[in-house]
Structure 1
């Protein structure tokens, strides 16, 4: 296919400038959750300051390119706080000029088990927004165990208490498994009491090394979202990420601006591993070995800037496949107007390729949500 044709296809779907950059400062995690998708969570590979400095150079280039440009830097992967405060500070210092100028916002996704008062001071000093991974009360959090198989609930709660005492707001992200999907109310009641300002509900996905566990079904997910919608109406104080996204979509359609939803381009989400390798479209693809796609590497941040890497992204086999898959989704799926296509990682892990269409992720996280809302409205009209 001609290069200009590939560029046109890419530009139609994917933003040329990222809003989000994911950094993986260490592959290691101090937990061993039963559903974890990370292949290298036992390795203690750590990012070095030269990689962080290369990222800063790229982010500076991106934010220099236009007024009010900002990049959200999300520190993710294993457990970022396992890096330790000194090493983490070594990575953060090079971002300080950009952060203080408002051109970078730091986010960290953590299991909170390592958070202490000293960590709270650290997070405050560098202006972190904090996300905590917790699956609900102790009875629903049993999949989150340490390397000795022991429950970690009390340690996570202790870390959250440190955040609350320090006045640090946080969001919550819960993985909803086949075991817990029938119990949305205890989960949501718990998250509301916990004090998080928003909650994300990630229905368990088959990805990375997590491919053998039973996944929630479409029927289970539809009931889960219907009960979640009902709970949210009774408890409007907690913002549920997925319902907020659906609300944005409906609001645009109600005001005659529905076309704007479809015009929103996909963030390429450059994900930078500890060694500087860059993966696009889905952080879950980082560290995956597959020679067909050159292990999903788009380049290395020490050799090229993100601007340069993204300028060549249309030539990557897995990106081309993903774009073909999106075209097929748009042509065949009744839910595409809202969904805008399944995530790249889900296509690969579930179907083995990225030019495929429907995934269980589509069914449980997008189709079930729309169906649940439709069923709710229909039942209310019939009452």
Structure 2
């Protein structure tokens, strides 16, 4: 097979060989049963073995760290804290020397319902950055329920309260749904009142097992982002950071030369996602646990048999990776928003179109394009005021 047949030249140009982020799934299980959850294995209680964690640590240690940037190791999947603090502490041990050497920075995405002082002790000891999943005030967090259908809001807020008492910084990540998209300021004001360091806003998507809920129209999403930008401007530069507005601002502040350099030098993060068994899926954590006749199980390798760098080196042979490279070529050639988003997400292409070759997705329209268009609208309003 020739290089052109495997997509290798495009792969070399577009995919980073050292990942910026490695996602580790210590358990597929989640103690909640959110109505929009996309995870296929949230009932699986099998925990990650210590040998898998050790293999991930060895893989990261063997990477080329000449860029001076630590790998962000994000503990995510179902609910990481459902593993139990003692078992989770054992999984962290292989990474301790890497953290001390500046090669790894821990992160965790949690629903915060299981936070205790013992968990906070571990978080502080290992310098774990926290993201808390919550959608807004109680009446807007109704999709987050436990396995008996009971609202989880009070337990989430109680966990956040413990973080605040211990002065542990945290970000919040919110899913914006049909029910909440018209209540922008209520959501943002609430997150500010919680004391969050930053806010991430995810427009609900058709993804994984979440395929049946209504998808939001682009014009309504654009209005939402306009309101978010207005709120952030009113708060000023020292206010709580909104992830999407911050990202857009960094892009706009860059000179034309800096944007051109970013476009030419940018490489897509392969985001290796490691399951409890050591299987590695690339490009999008959302693909883990899913299967499709055309692509199989998306597994690119296993860390117990092969290190992560080698798995990435051979990824150009995978059909879904090859198709994603085709999509990126199409985006760069045809989309006026490409210099901002640089290609967007792989999993949305698959879940929306059944193929990775599709260029535009709902995610593109609602989280990339609508954000830019909202800024244009906000700027026009400001200039005519």
Per the TM superposition, whether the score is higher than 0.5 is yes
Shift of 1:357: 1.1
- Map of 1:213-292 to 2, 5 A cutoff? 213-236=213-236, 237-253=239-255, 256-262=257-263, 263-292=265-294
Find the partner of 2:381 among 362, 379, 382.
379
TM-score (norm 2): 0.96
Match of 1:16 in 2: 17
Cα separation, 2, equivalents of 1:277 and 1:258: 36
Secondary structure of the structure 1 residue equivalent to 2:255:
helix
Report the counterpart of residue 113 of structure 2 in structure 1: 113
Cα offset, 1:329, TM superposition: 1.3
User: C-alpha deviations, 1:121-155, integer Å up to 9, x for none?
Assistant: 11111111111001011011111000111101110
After TM superposition, where is structure 1 displaced by more than 3 Å over at least 4 residues in a row?
A: none
1:150 equivalent in structure 2:
150
Q: Which residue number in structure 2 is paired with residue 52 of structure 1? A: 53
Equivalent position of 2:27 in the other structure: 26
1:342 Cα offset (Å): 2.6
Unaligned runs of 5+ in 2: none
CA RMSD in angstroms comes to 1.3
Aligned-partner SS, 1:375: helix
SS in 1 for 2:175: strand
1:204 paired with 2:204, answer yes
**The one of 313, 316, 323 aligned to 1:314:** 316
Contact 2:23 2:75 survives alignment (8 Å): yes
Matches of 2:323 and 2:30, distance apart in 1: 32
Question: What's the counterpart of residue 191 of structure 2?
Answer: 191
Q: State the match for 2:135 in structure 1.
A: 135
Post-superposition offset of 1:272: 0.2
Alpha-carbon shift at residue 71 of structure 1 (Å):
1.0
CA contact 1:131–1:173 (8 Å) conserved in 2: yes
SS of 1:38's equivalent in the other structure is coil
Deviation at 1:7, TM superposition (A): 2.2
Runs of 5+ consecutive residues of structure 1 not aligned to the other structure: none
Q: What TM-score does the superposition give when structure 1 sets the normalisation length?
A: 0.97
Q: Does the CA-based 8 Å contact 1:23-1:76 persist in structure 2?
A: yes
CA distance in 2 between counterparts of 1:364 and 1:90 reads 40
User: Could you tell me how far 1:78 is from its partner in structure 2?
Assistant: 0.1
Count how many residue pairs are aligned between Structure 1 and Structure 2.
Answer: 381
Which residue in 1 is equivalent to 2:335? Answer: 333
Q: Distance in 1 between matches of 2:333 and 2:68?
A: 36
